[in-house]
Structure 1
Amino acid sequence: MAIITRSAMALLVAGLVVGSLAGAAAAMAYLPAAAANTTTASSAAQQKATAGGGGGGTELKPEHSVSSPAASGSADSSPSSQQHFVSNSDLVGLFKKAEGSVVQITSTASVVNNNIIINGSPLQSESKRLGSGFVYDAEGHIVTNNHVVDGAKVVDVTFVDGNTYPAKVLGRDAYSDLAVIQVTGDDDNSNNNSAERFSPLPLGNSSMLQVGEQVVAIGNPFGLSNTMTSGIVSQLGRLLPNGEGGFSIPNVVQTDAAINPGNSGGPLLNMRGEVVGVNTAITSSTGDFAGVGFAVPSDTVKRIVPALIARGEYRHPWLGIAGASINSEMAAKLGLQRNHGGVLVSSVVPGGPADKAGLLGSEAAADSGSGSRGSDTGKQQQQQRGDIIMAIDGHKVKRIEDVITYLEEHKSAGDKVTLSIDRNGRQLDLVATVQARPDPQQQQQQ
């Protein structure tokens, strides 16, 4: 599934660029947003919602595995088992326990300036990107954001004691904005990894988080190493727009703990010291933190990181549709009840899983109804609407997020899924075989 969202607010990556800026930095949701001592305002990105990765998509209204070795296995991460008021000593103790496991990541990116031509070729330069990460296991695997290491094969990792080591990029997943690097030692030919050097942070259960629960973020904002900020979980289950192929990240954790450029890839911790999210982005109109930050949930980390370590990639489930949640306004236009719910399919990728299952989008329905000469406009409009997904494997669908989240958490490529649809008042069950998403480059070319 995929969804593209646009809104008047701008989403900025919490990444930091040192040196020259790469073109229109911060114009997209997942590009670096600032340079050293320079804050770059982001352009406002409007929201459009599509689902299923059909490339371009249809513009709509903004309604829009294996367990980690570091997982704590704790079943109860609810705030009821914690103090309602966290003392300063609790925060001090948490920081001391976690600081040795949080690192600064420096990567070098090549920048091409097409506005300056020398000897017939655009000027090329290099810029360093600063981000954060945390130790995942005793083998030297470190989790960070994809946008922190994108385009790099080797990066530098600096620990709290000031020691810096080279690390190779093992795997990246642009769709979840997660990546794994591994410390290789003092040079590429040595493997000086020692259990004493690496102190993994345990992974908590993000599905047990509650709004109002206290959390802290640790990272390197603006290059200021090992900075901790505190706040609460502001909301759960957010759908975070991602420029990679039009797919969004589901179940994202929203927090008011300050996240700034350079925090990208750092951990969001509960008061047990467990990682419940990977700090990824902020919403801002200026480029500065405005009280709304986002973190990829730890449950997503548990599902994706083992695959990145083993294979260097993760295969996301894909249906190949574009659509939108049916709100009350859309329901009225379609002649449906105000709280009808469901997801209206606007388009279907030719040859994709949904297409093979027989799902119809609005475009196909309009084509099939174009020969109608009836004078009843309302009836003709209903004939031309796409299928409405009402349930997936028996689970009721109210919003497009329900479809995206279910696929991500319960399905893999090759699995079958039953879509219960409303086709102009007829109730049908269609069975689709889920495929792996196209890679981002292929997706952008479609």
Structure 2
Amino acid sequence: MTSRVKTSIPNIIINGNPLESQSTRLGSGFVYDAEGRIITNNHVVDGAKTVDVTFVDGNIYSAKVVGTDAFSDIAVLQMTDDFSKEHLTALLLGNSSQLQVGQQVIAIGNPFGLSDTMTTGIVSQLGRLLPNQEMGFSIPNAIQTDAAINPGNSGGPLLDIHGNVLGVNTAIKSNTGEFSGIGFAIPSSTVTRIVPHLIQEGKYDHAWLGISGASLTPDLAEQLGLPRDFKGVAIASVTPGGPADKAGMIGATKSNVPAGDVITAINGHAVKRIEDVIFYIEEQTAVGDNVVITVNRGASHKTLLQPCSQGRFLLCRRARVLPPRRPR
């Protein structure tokens, strides 16, 4: 399996301004199809002027960025030099929805410029929320793994033992910037949903409610006059003119309102934490869909109908989730 898949996992080299320090960035990727399309991370190629892809046989090809999505951290490259389709082997996308905690996984990439490096580990947990507080959004449903991921691994595949792609390695959580046993990958289900749009349109339109909020804790519930064991998502703020605002949702920051709405259900699905909202909107809705939001407002429950428009659910900073460091 190893020798077969390594031919499909190129190193990604981004050449910047030669007068600037650290102008060259390194990453990884994998062949998506025989047309010369390669999947990598958006943060690897963000702002790139020139992209080179180097395969294990030593062949180097120029590539251009044809589609990016910062909200899922996925990008698609198109090889522009002449290449032989017969020599390109696309990796198969596995079904990440069937993953189980404890399942063995393999990461292959270009850490520290050491090409074709393979590490192994297990799936440590599923359904992680991967926050990026610098940009104000979160990537849902990330795979957590202890397979070593280091700078240069970003964009490379997380594989099962059969060589199928389960995810795209994208980030680590560390206090030092080096791997400390906690890595994250974007699941293949997200790749399957988003990449065709990146190829055809160069972008992907995400549904958006226009709210920020945080999961209720016992103390927060008590402050809002609710039972300490009450579950839901407290709305901290509502984007003016956004879908939630038009539907009449109230945030805690609105004048003369001591507390904002608390979301308890979406389309009849119970909401117990902020991840439930983000996962449902991202994976079960599309731009233009109507969703029924059930909220607790004071002593009563209200049902609001609102459309999802283009944009993203914003993660409230008071959720106190530290952003993981991204390996380059």
1:27-426 matches, cutoff 5 A:
94-110=1-17, 127-185=23-81, 192-243=82-133, 245-364=135-254, 367-369=255-257, 384-426=258-300
Q: Which deviates more, 242-251 or 128-137?
A: 242-251
Matched AA of 2:172: I
What's the CA shift string for 1:222-246, capped at 9, x where partnerless?
A: 0000000000000011111124630
Helix, strand or coil: the match of 2:193? helix
Matched AA of 2:135: G
Helix, strand or coil: the match of 2:7? helix
What's the CA shift string for 1:20-41, capped at 9, x where partnerless?
A: xxxxxxxxxxxxxxxxxxxxxx
Q: CA shift at 1:332, angstroms?
A: 2.0
8 A contact 1:418–1:430 mirrored in 2: yes
User: Equivalents in 1 of 2:265, 2:272: separation in Å?
Assistant: 8
User: Equivalents in 2 of 1:219, 1:420: separation in Å?
Assistant: 45
User: Equivalents in 2 of 1:237, 1:300: separation in Å?
Assistant: 12
- The 1:110–1:126 alpha-carbon spacing in structure 2 relative to 1, beyond 3 Å, is farther
8 A contact 2:234–2:261 mirrored in 1: yes
* Structure with max Cα Rg: 1
8 A contact 1:170–1:312 mirrored in 2: yes
What's the CA shift string for 1:178-217, capped at 9, x where partnerless?
A: 10001111xxxxxx34321210000011111111000000
Matched AA of 2:123: V
- Residues matched between the structures, number: 313
What's the CA shift string for 1:128-164, capped at 9, x where partnerless?
A: 1110000001111000001111111431000010100
8 A contact 2:103–2:123 mirrored in 1: yes
User: Equivalents in 2 of 1:397, 1:125: separation in Å?
Assistant: 47
8 A contact 1:256–1:291 mirrored in 2: yes
User: Equivalents in 1 of 2:184, 2:29: separation in Å?
Assistant: 15
TM-score (norm 2): 0.92
Helix, strand or coil: the match of 1:272? coil
8 A contact 1:108–1:126 mirrored in 2: no
8 A contact 1:110–1:126 mirrored in 2: no
Helix, strand or coil: the match of 1:368? coil
User: Equivalents in 1 of 2:181, 2:21: separation in Å?
Assistant: 34
8 A contact 1:99–1:226 mirrored in 2: yes
- The 1:362–1:330 alpha-carbon spacing in structure 2 relative to 1, beyond 3 Å, is same
Matched AA of 1:271: I
- The 1:361–1:173 alpha-carbon spacing in structure 2 relative to 1, beyond 3 Å, is same
User: Equivalents in 2 of 1:249, 1:342: separation in Å?
Assistant: 20
Q: CA shift at 1:96, angstroms?
A: 1.5
8 A contact 1:223–1:262 mirrored in 2: yes
User: Equivalents in 2 of 1:403, 1:208: separation in Å?
Assistant: 22
Matched AA of 2:197: A
**Which residue of 1 is the match for residue 322 of structure 2?**
none
Identity within the alignment, %: 60
Q: CA shift at 1:411, angstroms?
A: 1.1
Gaps of 5+ in 1: 1-93, 112-122, 186-191, 370-383, 441-446
8 A contact 1:174–1:244 mirrored in 2: no
- The 1:386–1:140 alpha-carbon spacing in structure 2 relative to 1, beyond 3 Å, is same
User: Equivalents in 2 of 1:368, 1:437: separation in Å?
Assistant: 28
Gaps of 5+ in 2: 315-328
What's the CA shift string for 1:275-311, capped at 9, x where partnerless?
A: 1110011111112111000101111111111111101
Matched AA of 2:97: S
User: Equivalents in 2 of 1:232, 1:245: separation in Å?
Assistant: 30
User: Equivalents in 2 of 1:431, 1:193: separation in Å?
Assistant: 52
Matched AA of 2:127: G
Matched AA of 1:312: G
Matched AA of 1:329: D
8 A contact 2:16–2:49 mirrored in 1: no
Matched AA of 1:368: N
User: Equivalents in 1 of 2:121, 2:44: separation in Å?
Assistant: 24
Matched AA of 1:235: Q
User: Equivalents in 1 of 2:83, 2:269: separation in Å?
Assistant: 46
**Which residue of 2 is the match for residue 37 of structure 1?**
none
8 A contact 2:16–2:50 mirrored in 1: no
User: Equivalents in 1 of 2:37, 2:134: separation in Å?
Assistant: 24
8 A contact 2:71–2:139 mirrored in 1: yes
Matched AA of 1:136: Y
TM-score (norm 1): 0.68
User: Equivalents in 1 of 2:108, 2:296: separation in Å?
Assistant: 47
User: Equivalents in 2 of 1:414, 1:195: separation in Å?
Assistant: 39
